[in-house]
Chain A
Amino acid sequence: MEHAAVIEMTSIRKAQHAAVIRSFLLVFPLVGYLIVFFVAPLCLVLLYSFYSPEVSRAFPLTSQQIDRWQGPDIPDSDTYLALAADLLNPESEFLVGEAARRLNYEISGFRTVISRTKRNLAAADISNPAALKEEVIRADPHWGEVRYWAAFKRATSTVTPYYFLAALDLEVNGTGGISPVPEDRRIFVSTFLRSIWIAATVTLICLVLGYPLAYALISLRPEFSALLMFSVLLPFWTSLLVRTTAWIVVLSQEGIINSLLTGAAIVDAPLNLVFNRTGVFITMVHVLLPFMVLPILSVMRGVSSTYMKASSSLGAHPVRGFLSVYLPLTMPGIGAGCMMTFIIAVGYYVTPLLVGGGGDNMISYFIAFYTNETINWGMAAAIGLILLATVLVLYASLGKLIGVSKIVGLN
């Protein structure tokens, strides 16, 4: 008898074991796929944000020499010898170009110093190693400045804080400390703050519009609310670019809104509704409203109407009943909707670019700009990583608070 029970227990355990293996095998292809095509790309973003081997790769000999140099005087003649050898190495032509770009981030104008030195050294007489130091300084006098050598030494390190600092409007100054960049170059922090501000405003507008909309969806006549639901889902599924086009056309100076307003003599001259912040707000609210409404709706559906009846039978005024009963019960939906809307809004790229004015760029703009236009991958990676960290912190806290299953609408 006892024996049979043991056998049964083992077979149950075996079956459970098999089920675990089976579920693992089913989930594994997707998990593996995401590791290769989603996690690995994000790891590369992380890597490129601090890894910068360009200078040590293009100037191997100089890097070795400069490693021993401590200042405060300019380096010894061996270093100059190494510099000339590295610069004139015909195999490192392309690498030197990349390194010059990297050095230019340290001191603006360094790129020209490199190319000028290379050109002049190629033409100069460098047969005498003893006179080479003077020859290099003659090729470009900046090599006589400690500041340039300090920047060079900093850039030979394969790990650099440069991109992160730059993304926060900071730089390493001449004395090795960290200080803010000059005022006219401070663009990233304000753009981050602007992104957060725009996303928060859009989220708030979506909440104010979306909460009553969700309530209307569950409480009005079925035929009406079906039509209303269709109105929420149609834009949700419509191409983002179609919606953007539609708003540009509708909001433009000759557009339908301005025609109606001037036609009804509400305003004298057409309003500027697009290619500015107003246009960004209107379009983003339109695009993101469903992301607010749908989570709130799914929570509202689960709140029984008997609670409100109970509160009113206990003598509570409807407003009091709403504030102390209904609102708290629908809070998870509000939390999920707000977080979702904010997370999507803060990384927005296409809408601000197309309907915003010149000063309305959000932080994503710079990521695309540095990747596609100036090919400064390190900068794109560092800004991207800061944006990613912001979003992940919110996602994690939201997941803790509400649970991921709830956020995506699974029970």
Chain B
Amino acid sequence: MKLHHGLYIYGAAMMVFLVGPILAIVPISFSGSGFLSYPISDLTLRWYARALQPVPWLTALKNSLIVASGTTVLATVLGTLAALGLTQSASRARSALLAFIVSPMIVPSVVSGVGMFFLFARMGLNASYAGLILAHTVLGTPFVVVTVAATLQNFDRNLLRAASSLGASPVVAFFTVTLPIISSGVIAGALFAFVISLDEIIVALFIGGPAHRTLPRQMFDGIRDNIDPSILAMSTLLILATVALVLALAFISRVQSRLRSTVQE
């Protein structure tokens, strides 16, 4: 019993450590004083007005959304196909392939970033949307593969045999049987790729140009320079988006487990 009390106290302390600092900046973003400290004097929306100016923040947000959308499409298609192939391949080949496919998660971004900078310098892709999308896809796809492959582990392949015996071609069976069942995994993987691209800073520092400044790049420069309350306003908006995302993912995984139990029944 005593251990349990201790664990509750510890858990509560860890909650404060993990979430406290993130929530602590939210009130400061409404502070009229312009100082980054408590107590908050008078409330204002000034910093939000500034964070929603076209330059620099909204332009950076637009660039980030363009890159993240491109990355999501490319990573989701490549990653889902690969996950399907992996689950069908022989187990020996599978573990070697998986080790290769997830290696971008392991290699430090600074090293991949330098390499991509060298390659893109030869291909003329530095400082372009295309370069950023191609690079972010490398970093995001492993997460799609892992997420979709996890969903596929619970996929009953007899359903495909049933589909084929009813005359469905593999492509038709994929779109009408497989995809609806694994859709929650695909969506979660796509969200993963989107968030990774949206938050990616290191490769963007190497290969991004001044005209394609992404949101993390803008924040990076802001923090290095001198933290302005409008960074906190932008951070608060991002935190809100993150809360929505975490809740959405929790919802997806609940739908997924409900679906799994129905299928098993």
Which residues of A are at the interface with B, using a C-beta cutoff of 8 A?
Answer: 19-20, 22-31, 33-34, 37-38, 40-45, 48, 209, 212-213, 215-216, 219-220, 224-225, 227-228, 230-235, 237-250, 252, 254-256, 259, 286, 289, 318, 343, 346-347, 349-350, 353-354, 364, 367-368, 371-372, 377, 380-381, 384-385, 387-388, 391-392, 395, 399, 403-405, 407-411
Contacts and interface: CB of A to CB of B under 8 A. Distances in A.
Given A241-B223, A245-B25, A245-B227, A254 B119 contact: no
A346 B108 CA distance: 8
B85 A25 contact: yes
B81 to A, nearest CB: 5
Contacts, number: 280
B22 A238 contact: yes
Interface string B15-35: 101111110110010000001
A407 B25 CA distance: 34
Contacts of B17: 286
Given A23-B89, A249-B36, A256-B24, A242 B235 contact: yes
Interface string B50-91: 000000000000000000000000000011011011101110
Interface of B: 3-4, 7-8, 10-11, 14-15, 17-22, 24-25, 28, 35-38, 78-79, 81-82, 84-86, 88-90, 95, 97-119, 134-135, 137-138, 141-142, 145-146, 149-150, 153, 170, 195, 198-199, 201-202, 205-206, 216, 219-220, 223-224, 227, 231-232, 235, 238-239, 242-243, 245-246, 249-250
B10 A234 contact: no
Nearest to B150: A410
B35 A387 contact: no
By Cβ-Cβ distance, the 5 closest A-B pairs, closest first, are A347-B108, A41-B115, A26-B85, A27-B85, A23-B88
Q: Interface on chain B toward A: helix, strand, loop, or mixed SS?
A: helix
A20 B97 CA distance: 14
A345 B17 CA distance: 19
Given A27-B86, A237-B246, A241-B201, A219 B110 contact: no
B246 A233 contact: yes
A262 to B, nearest CB: 12
Q: Which of A25, A42, A368 has most B Cβ within 10 Å?
A: A42
Nearest to B7: A216
Nearest to A44: B118
A364 B203 CA distance: 12
Contacts of B170: 22
Nearest to B119: A41
Contacts of B38: 256, 259
